[in-house]
A and B are shown apart, each in its own frame.
Chain A
């Protein structure tokens, strides 16, 4: 039936950026870094992609720019958290502010107008579809990487007991740094989807709290790539549902609030007491 098809498609469209952001959250938290800055990374990725696409006329280069920008922000968070001993939550909040301000600032600098950018060359429908598929591929790759490779072992160990990793001769700070960079790249890609995949421009606040929904997805998904993807799909379905119910008299704000309310409910342990990585959010210093 066409309505169901539409619903599924809409769910995938809404879920894709969430999946990318949630995967970013998973890899960071598995390494021990609580990444509150997902929202900021989505923002920077979205903006950088549009700005570069505008400058070069090429959306693919814009995509790469978004990924690189996200990775750089991840690097900033990683450095702040591991080398400078800045509290991860504080740093993450700072990055969110910085990203929003920076993107708004960038709008004026690059496009000469606040609020929203001009329309740029975007990835079009094939690009959008590719990114949606890419999200699931990324989930699979991350799963394999975390559980089947030496890198994954070290990353998981760093999130549980960085001291032990140190005694094994590896510096957990470097492991965490790589993880936040990878996470930043994934989140950046999610941002690219928002600006160049779904649409063809950047506008102030277009990330609309998705970075925070992604955090909830990580918890629901018990800090695993597949789990987080599933949770993100669930939230995407909720967003799609909101669309469908738009005209039915149910307040749109309620629908929009559902993912956040669900996350609050998750905190009560309804979703089961899953255990975060033991050193999640705990700084490691020598």
Chain B
């Protein structure tokens, strides 16, 4: 399947009047060609990893969190707005901002969670709507009531240096956020495999009716799952604000929340495989700009291919567990 996608990408490049081989070379060179490039790729990987884990987490419980994008934005918004006004030691500020961002994302996810748990409303529709509301809200707040004096665009003032995430590699944008994301992946894997909470979550996702009769509270699980999923995505937004941009800007995400869906599926909903998938997509994201600059291939071909990847992924194995209606062999 990867080969098919590569061929389609090549065809698209030809269409754009570019040389596909040059395009691919530029892509990989731009992503992996040297230490600065690799570190940038890792930055993209990190930004993808948070929402991808969030989406996979919800998927395992049978919930479609299409709203990771919005949750990420809100998380970043909260971190950015507080961070721009907070002047204190990094030891306090950084954890505070990350927690605040997670809380913001959690709250945003919880809205969809309540609608699902209390009213049975589809979380698909809810999260889709909330994405757009999040963008509008962020725009309004940052340009309006929460506007920082002296700032021109739809963004906050820059965070004080003490609130910046420490860099992993000096001189690059790569920060400890990568370590946090990796740790999160391992923690999630442990939660799914070992804990009672993870057991119940998987039961709800794999056999909701059996879970209900076994005494598992479906509504509560749905709510908690959406909130935690939102928290993870919000944390991702907070790391972008504190680590990459050092401020909140409404365009802080080029669609990470949506690409995350592809990453989660490619990673088979398994946290450790998602790490690898995030890296693969991180290469695409960071190489795209280079591809555009060097080979004159429009960078949008990457999102085109990512979309195609999502469609092409035979998600049968996820569907089989999630929905009750499968082709049951007659007895």
Q: Which residues of A contact B (CB under 8 A)?
A: 34, 36, 76, 80, 84-87, 89-91, 93-102, 104-105, 108-109, 114, 209, 212, 215-216, 219, 251, 253-254, 256-257, 260-261, 263-264, 266-269, 279, 282-286
Contacts and interface: CB of A to CB of B under 8 A. Distances in A.
Contacts of B120: 269
Contacts of A102: 300, 304, 307
Contact of B119 (A263, A268, A282): A268
A77 B316 CA distance: 15
Q: SS class of chain A's interface: helix, strand, loop or mixed?
A: helix
A87 B320 CA distance: 10
Given A95-B307, A260-B132, A261-B133, 9 more contacts: A90-B261, A90-B315, A93-B310, A101-B302, A102-B300, A105-B12, A212-B132, A257-B137, A279-B325
A215 B316 CA distance: 25
Given A101-B302, A212-B132, A264-B126, A109 B314 contact: no
B275 interface: no
A220 to B, nearest CB: 11
A91 B64 CA distance: 12
Contacts of A101: 300-307
The size class of the interface chain B forms with chain A is 35 or more
B130 A264 contact: yes
A98 B308 contact: yes
A233 to B, nearest CB: 19
A264 B204 CA distance: 24
16 contacts: A91-B310, A94-B261, A95-B311, A96-B307, A97-B303, A98-B307, A99-B307, A109-B16, A209-B132, A212-B132, A253-B136, A253-B137, A261-B133, A263-B129, A264-B111, A283-B323
A256 B120 CA distance: 26
Contacts of A93: 66, 258, 261, 310
A181 B139 CA distance: 37
Contact of A269 (B119, B313, B318): B119
A90 B265 contact: yes
B192 to A, nearest CB: 20
Contacts of A279: 325
B116 to A, nearest CB: 8
The 3 A-B residue pairs whose C-beta atoms are closest, nearest first, are: A98-B307, A267-B121, A94-B310
B50 to A, nearest CB: 18
A171 B247 CA distance: 55
Given A84-B314, A108-B16, A212-B132, A94 B304 contact: no
A109 B255 contact: no
Nearest to A284: B325
Nearest to B313: A86
Contacts of B16: 105, 108-109
A97 B125 contact: no
A285 B329 CA distance: 12
Interface of B: 12, 15-17, 64, 66, 111, 115, 118-122, 124-126, 128-130, 132-133, 136-137, 139-140, 144, 255, 258-259, 261-262, 265, 298, 300-316, 318-319, 322-323, 325-327
A283 B322 CA distance: 11
A94 B305 CA distance: 9
Nearest to B136: A253
A209 B133 CA distance: 11
A86 B314 contact: yes
B15 A109 contact: yes
A219 B128 CA distance: 14
B311 A251 contact: no
A98 B314 contact: no
Contacts of A283: 319, 323, 325
Contacts of A264: 111, 115, 121, 126, 129-130, 133
B65 to A, nearest CB: 11
A105 B139 contact: no
B66 A257 contact: no
A269 B301 contact: no
A266 B312 CA distance: 33
